[in-house]
Amino acid sequence: MEGGKAQCTNVIGNNREVPKERIIKFKPPLYRQRYQFVKDIVDQHEPKKVADLGCGDTSLIRLLKVYPCIKELVGVDIDEDKLRWRGDQLSPFMGDFLKPRDLDLTITLYHGSAVERDSRLLGFDLITCIELIEHLDSGDLARFPEVVFGYMSPAMVVISTPNSEFNPLFPTENLRDSDHKFEWDRMQFQTWALFVANRYGYSVEFTGVGDPPAGAESVGFCTQIGIFRKNEERAAESRVSERQDEHVYKAVFTASYPSLQQERFLRLVLVNEVSRQVESLRLKHLRRLREEGEGLLGIQPLENDSNFPSFGPVFTDAEKARIENSPKPFVAGRKFFVPLRRLVAYPKLHRICPNEDVMRSLVDDCVSLSSDGSAVVVDLHDHYDYLFEI
C-alpha cells in the first residue's frame, strides 16, 4: 500500500482535493527511508550492540552489518521462515576475509517474540522496532513496554509505526496491511510513547519519514517514529541482579566475521601489507639507482616520481614527519633492508600495528628478518626487475 500507485483523489484537512497518484509515491520508497533513518542513527551514535525486533527478512540487518562500530547484531522475529529466507546472506563473503573488519562482528538471528524475555537481549545500545508494534494484539502490546523498556532496557529504542492521519491519502481507507491490529494517529502514538517513556525512565522525541505532499502537510509523516533515550539515572542502575540464563529464543542463525582483533587475520593482513610496502620501497630504490647511473653517463634522467602525477597515498604533514623521522631503508651487499621502525611509520601499517615488537612477533614466521630482528630483508634484485627493465 505505502509504495503503491492510485488514480483517484481524496479530500483532506482543509477540504483541498489532492490527486493520489502524486501523493503516495515515495522516493526513495518508504521502507528504504525507514532503513536510512536507522542508518543515520547508527552513524550518529555508533552503537556497539544493536538488535532489530520484528526484523522480518533481515533487510535492515544486512544494511547494518557494514558499520564498523557494530560488534553484535541481533535479529528477532516470530516468523521463523522469514528469518531463514535470506539469513544465509548474512554469512561473511570472500571479501570479508580478504579485507577483514577492524572489530569483531557476530550476527545472530533468533526465532522468538519481542514480548518474551531472553537475557541475550540485555545490555544493548540500540533496539529498533520498525513497523512492529501495529502487528501486536492488545495482550502483546500491553506486555511489550515491560519487556523492551523494563527488561531489555537498551540505551536507545527506535519505534516506527504507521501514522493513520496519512491514510486518507491512500486509495482505500482500510488498515495498510491485513495483519495490522491497529494504526494510530499522532496523538495516540505520542500518548502511548510518553506514558512508556515516563514509566521506564526514558525521554522520547517524535519524528518520521515519508513527507506528506504539498497542501497536505497537516497530516504529518506517513511513518511516525519515536526515538527513546534512557535517562542517566536509569542508565546508571546496575543490572547485575538480572538473570543471565533466561534463554527463551531459539537461535536459527549465527555468523562470526573475520577481524583484525583475531590474531590469524591480523597476521595475514600485516604480512601482506609489510610485503607490499617493502616491495614498493625496493622498486623506488632501484629506480633512483638507475636514474643516478644514467645521470653519470650524461643520459637525460627519466622524470622522477615527483614529476609524475602521484597515484599513491596522500600523507598528512604529521604522517610525512613520522616517516621522515624513522630510520631509512638501506642496502648491504645484494640485500635490501627496511627497518621495522620505518614500516610502523607508514599510515596503513601504523593503523594495523603501531608497535615494532608486536609487528616483529607477528611477521616473524613469514618474512625474512635481519639477524638482530630490526629490519625486513629482501634481495635487492629479483628476476622480474630484469624482465621489466626496472
Residues binding ligand SAM (CB under 6 A): 31, 53-56, 59, 76-79, 82, 113-115, 130-132, 135-136, 140
Closer to ligand SAM by Cβ: residue 54 or 258 = 54
What's the min distance (Å) between Cβ of 66 and ligand SAM? 17
Radius of gyration of the chain (CA): 29
SS3 372: coil
Least distance CB 93 / ligand SAM (angstroms): 22
Which of residues 54 and 87 has its CB atom nearest to ligand SAM in the complex?
Answer: 54
Nearer to ligand SAM, 52 or 273 (CB): 52
Q: What angle do CA 192, 194, 200 make, to 5 degrees?
A: 100
Measure the CA–CA gap between 76 and 114, rounded to whole angstroms: 7
For residue 19, what is its C-alpha cell? 490527486
Q: How far is the CB of 51 from ligand SAM (least distance, A)?
A: 11
Position 12: which residue type?
Answer: I
DSSP 315: P
Q: What are the cell numbers at 233?
A: 539515572
Compute the least distance from the CB of residue 194 to ligand SAM, in Å.
Answer: 23
Closer CB to ligand SAM, residue 118 or residue 165?
118
How many helices, marked H, and strands, marked E, lie in the chain? 14, 13
Listing DSSP states for 85-146 in one string gives HHHGGGSPPHHHHHS-BSS-EEEEEEES-TTS--GGGTT-SEEEEET-GGGS-HHHHHHHHI
> For ligand SAM, which is the closer residue by CB, 104 or 246?
246
Nearer to ligand SAM, 153 or 223 (CB): 223
Q: Residue written as cell 635487492?
A: 380
CB of 32 to ligand SAM, least distance (A): 10
Task: Calculate the dihedral angle through the C-alpha atoms of 228, 229, 234, 235, rounding to the nearest 10 degrees.
Answer: 140
Nearer to ligand SAM, 130 or 338 (CB): 130
SS3 (DSSP) at 71:
coil
CB 39 to ligand SAM: min, Å: 13
Least CB distance to ligand SAM at residue 80 (A): 9
Tell me, rounded to whole angstroms, the distance of Cα 108 from its chain centroid: 15
- To ligand SAM, the closest distance from the beta carbon of 24 in angstroms equals 17
CB 172 within 8 A of CB 8: no
- Cell digits for 185? 494517529
Q: Which is nearer to ligand SAM, 116 or 319 (CB)?
A: 116
